[in-house]
Structure 1
Amino acid sequence: MKNKVFFFLIVFFFILDIHAQCAMCRAVLESQEGQGTAKGINDGIVYLMSIPYIVLAGLGFSIYRKYFYSKNKA
């Protein structure tokens, strides 16, 4: 059951089309001719936003693993 929930969450987050621009950035970038700059800015914002979540997930997993390995060995 845990594997199904985990798989669903991973697939769900990779399928989403995320738009992370603030209202001001979006208004300025949409007024320009090409949308390449807007897409680049949006991708950069999503990239910068994802790094802290990845670090926290890794830290949480390492704490979880250490807790259960020490519990099983004792």
Structure 2
Amino acid sequence: MKKLLKTVFAFCLIYLVSQFQVLAQCAMCRASVENNVSNGETTVGAALNMGILYLFAAPYLLALIIGILWYRHSKKNKKSIA
């Protein structure tokens, strides 16, 4: 089990380190930000980027919570069988 965790951790670390910095948004988001900046509102872009990060992180957090609950449940079942 430890070997699997080390392998998964190493894979995730390599994946995160190898990512290039991406400063892109969808076409509609970019048009909205450009329109607001031209009207003098500069805070919309930062709020939009935070929203994108929130939408990006939410499914992974949900999967993590489900995985932890599943692991605890299976560990509890192993103890009750043995």
Name the TM-score class by shorter chain: 0.5 to 0.7
Higher Rg of the two aligned structures: 2
Match of 2:64 among 54, 57, 62: 57
TM-score (norm 2): 0.56
2:47, 2:66 → 1: CA distance?
29
Q: Give the 4+ runs in structure 1 shifted more than 3 A.
A: 15-21, 33-36
> Residue in 2 aligned with 1:42?
49
Between stretches 1-10 and 51-60, larger displacement belongs to 1-10
Change (3 A) 1:45 1:20: farther
Give the structure-1-normalised TM-score. Answer: 0.59
SS at the partner of 1:21?
Answer: coil
Cα RMSD, aligned residues only: 3.3
Percent identical residues: 32
- 2:12 equivalent to 1:9: yes
- Count of aligned pairs: 73
Task: Judge which range, 50-59 or 30-39, deviates more.
Answer: 30-39
Structure number with greater CO (CA < 8 Å, separation at least 6) is: 1
What amino acid is aligned across from residue 73 of structure 2 in structure 1? K
Q: 1:27 aligns with which of 19, 27, 31?
A: 31
